Amino acid sequence: MATTAKYNSAFEKKKFQVRKNNRCPLCGRPRAFMRRFNMCRMCFRKLALNGDIPGVRKSSW
């Protein structure tokens, strides 16, 4: 889990746009962030399996 200071600084407005840090708004994870869904892979998987993300289905091989 992210420390409170890192989590808060990630969501503040930055002076320069390139300093923006993508973090999951649900859990604060900085890695494995998916821009299309605006969340990390673990939160995405949890919500997709519950059916909370419209248009996402589990693929079967």
Q: Is residue 32 within 8 Å of 22, Cβ to Cβ?
A: no
Give residue 33's pLDDT.
93
Q: Which pLDDT value is given to residue 58? A: 79
Any domain includes 60 = no
Q: List binding-site positions for Zn(2+).
A: 24, 27, 40, 43
Higher-pLDDT residue of 24 and 4 is: 24
Q: What is the pLDDT of residues 7-56, one digit of tens each?
A: 777 777 777 777 778 889 888 888 999 999 999 999 999 999 998 999 88
- Give binding residues as ranges: 24, 27, 40, 43
CATH code of residue 46: 4.10.830.10
Give the span between the Cα atoms of 4 and 13, in whole angstroms: 16
Write down the pLDDT at residue 2.
Answer: 64
The pLDDT value given to residue 16: 79
How many domains is the chain partitioned into structurally? 1
d(CA 25, CA 36): 13
pLDDT at 1 (0 to 100): 56
Indicate the DSSP class of residue 54: T
